[in-house]
Chain A
């Protein structure tokens, strides 16, 4: 589903976030990206979602070459990818359900169908009683679950999560990891950047260790 071939990402100023990375992630896999901060985890995720483009090498997602993807094609790629952000990126000018429904509005869903699906996902992440609340009134863990709900509502085949449990205490973190395990079990491909060792041992799956932009595969 995802393949990197000799991918290098160099930022203006010369900092090299990724150096000659090659990897393959199969459909339905659960992969953890680990490494110290600044090792290139976020850059790697950004390259998969075409938020950034590689300086050299080939990134391919679903058989599409990301470097050659036209600006117009990027939105359609992203509709197949659920993104979970460490800082949630929620919109505070609307309530919980309107945040979740946003991807479906963008994809042109019928409003009633969209609300039905959004409600189902909100139920799954345990926020059904907060449906009308403004996300600003939610706790950190709830905001993260809301972000996950938004990522999942479009039923993406691929979920990318950047430090999804970064700011959460252990209880919330375990909840969220359990949720990811469920998605993995229904066939979603997951790539999770984290340094939460407990989560990795709890869920199993493959671990890719990034060190200064280079990759080393650790045993699960």
Chain B
């Protein structure tokens, strides 16, 4: 156990020394990795921020049913009866007076309201369907729209839903990119480690002759790959921090124009840990592939 720890300490020390000796190569590799990591994680972070805006919107789909101002009492009753059917989970009647009162209270429109001689708002129903699926929603809204006395139906969730769908695509793209750049990461790390193995073939050959196990020979290279990946993750963090700083002012300006206090949220600690962990893992994986392949080459080319 102590020997095992000592081996690991030794390998880690050797890897760190090598990274320090080749500081420029280390830096360039870390930058290449950082850019590769920052693209999908930056996209993901951006989407998380947009989702936060979308999160304030009603997720439960609702249909607003606006009645014709001249709708007769029978028509109103027929509508109420229709809304009592089982495909409607809940229906709430909003009389035009209540709507006006709410509007005046909730927004700074009191002045405007005071100028009105009569209430311009129609009576309305807020309908929550039982089946929230897209098709059922549209079918119900269409059916209700055709009832006599109904002026207009409005799917409240439409906008939110479209945004949600777009965000879903965005997230899928982010994962796709993450997969592709993960492969790129493995390739970058593998390439860097391959060069290291070839540069140290004499040491590997001699170590073998004096009793080094495969694992002993692999270990420093695996640490090298993992560290390189970790540095790549940190570089990605740096890239994103710079991008965030640059974007902060224009976004605050845009939010201000919308009367919102929205500002960019930095990633959660858990997300940062996940990105660093994955970068380390991919760096290690690339190193493992390169070492396994290259050691074989080194061994067969040496007599």
- Residues on B with beta carbons closer than 8 Å to the beta carbon of A106: 207, 210-212, 216
Of all chain A residues, the one with the shortest Cβ separation from B212 is: A106
CA distance A107 to B210 in the complex (A): 9
Residue contact A78 to B203, C-beta cutoff 8 Å: no
Residue of A nearest to B200 (CB): A93
Tell whether A89 is near chain B: CB-to-CB under 8 Å.
yes
* Distance, CA A83 to CA B209, complexed state (A): 8
Kindly identify which residue among B10, B202, B203, B211 contacts A75, using a CB–CB cutoff of 8 Å. B211
Q: Is B6 an interface residue (CB 8 A)?
A: yes
Known contacts: A72-B213, A107-B211. The answer to whether A102 contacts B3 by CB under 8 A is no
Complex interface: chain B residues within 8 A of A83 (CB): 209-210
Within A131-157, the residues touching B (CB, 8 Å) are 150, 154
Contacts of B10 in A (CB 8 A): 105, 111
B92 touches A (CB below 8 Å): no
Q: Are B211 and A51 in contact (CB under 8 A)?
A: no
**In the complex, are the beta carbons of A89 and B206 less than 8 A apart?**
yes
Chain A residue numbers with a CB within 8 Å of B210 are 78-79, 83, 102-103, 106, 150, 154
Q: Check A108–B211 contact: CB distance below 8 A.
A: no
Whether A76 contacts B6 by the Cβ 8 Å rule is no
Asked if B90 is at the interface (CB within 8 A of a chain A CB), the reply is no
What's the nearest-Cβ distance from chain A to residue B252, in Å? Answer: 54
**Size bin of chain A's contact surface:** 20 to 34
B209 touching A108, Cβ below 8 Å: no
The answer to whether B7 touches A76, judged by C-beta atoms less than 8 angstroms apart, is no
User: Which residues between 77 and 99 of chain A lie within 8 Å of chain B, taking CB atoms?
Assistant: 77-79, 83, 89, 91, 93
Give chain B's interface secondary structure class.
helix
Q: How far is the CB of A77 from chain B (nearest CB, A)?
A: 8
Given contacts A91-B202, A91-B206, A93-B203, contact A110 B211 (CB under 8 A): no
Contacts of B208 in A (CB 8 A): 75
**CB under 8 Å from chain A, chain B span 209-238:** 209-214, 216
Please name all residues of chain A whose beta carbon is closer than 8 Å to the beta carbon of B206 when the two chains form the complex.
89, 91, 102
**How distant is the Cα of A71 from the Cα of B210 in the complex, in angstroms?**
14
Cβ contacts under 8 Å, A111 to chain B: 6, 10
Contact A78 B209 (CB under 8 A): yes
| Complex alpha-carbon distance, A73 and B202, angstroms | 22
- The chain B residue with its CB closest to the CB of A82 is B210
In the complex, A69→B6 CA distance in Å?
Answer: 27
- In the complex, the chain A residue whose C-beta lies closest to that of B207 is A106
In the bound complex, residues from chain A placing their C-beta under 8 Å from that of B216 are: 75, 106
What distance in Å separates the Cβ of B126 from its nearest Cβ neighbour in chain A? 73
Residues 1-43 (chain B) with a chain A CB within 8 angstroms: 3-4, 6-7, 10
Q: Nearest Cβ distance between residue B198 and chain A, in whole angstroms?
A: 14
Contacts of A75 in B (CB 8 A): 208, 211-213, 216
- Can you report 8 A-B residue pairs in the complex whose CB atoms are below 8 A from each other? A78-B210, A83-B209, A103-B210, A106-B207, A106-B210, A108-B4, A111-B10, A150-B210
Additional A-B contacts beyond A75-B211, A76-B211, A79-B211 (18; CB < 8 A) = A49-B209, A72-B213, A72-B214, A75-B213, A77-B211, A78-B209, A83-B209, A89-B206, A89-B209, A91-B202, A91-B206, A93-B203, A106-B210, A106-B211, A108-B6, A111-B10, A150-B210, A154-B210
A residues contacting B by CB (< 8 A) are: 49, 51, 71-72, 75-79, 83, 89, 91, 93, 102-103, 105-108, 110-111, 150, 154
* Pairs A-B, 8 closest by C-beta atoms: A108-B3, A79-B211, A78-B211, A75-B213, A75-B211, A106-B212, A103-B210, A89-B206
